Amino acid sequence: MKLIEIIGLEEKHAQLLGKAGIKEIEDLLALSYYQIKQLARTVGVTVNRLDTWQEHADLMRIEG
């Protein structure tokens, strides 16, 4: 799945995440909280926003 499918994640954020090595939803799901904190600084978003994107990505895996 593509990052831009996550609710609230815009194309510009997807590009910044891609430059940081997060290219697909699975890459985002694999991050620990410590990694999220580091990535948030790199991408220029809040930890809360990145954590929310990770939660939305997790929910997207549920069928139904």
Return the bridge partners of 44, or none.
none
| Contact status, residue 61 vs residue 11, Cβ threshold 8 Å | no
Quick one: three-class SS letters along 5-43?
HCCCCCHHHHHHHHHCCCCEHHHHHCCCHHHHHHHHHHH
Residue matched to tokens 């410590």: 34
Q: What is the pTM of this model?
A: 0.90
| Contact status, residue 43 vs residue 22, Cβ threshold 8 Å | no
The 10s digit of each residue's pLDDT in 10-60 is 999 999 999 999 999 999 999 999 999 999 999 999 999 999 999 999 999
Task: Report the pLDDT value the prediction gives residue 12, as an integer from 0 to 100.
Answer: 95
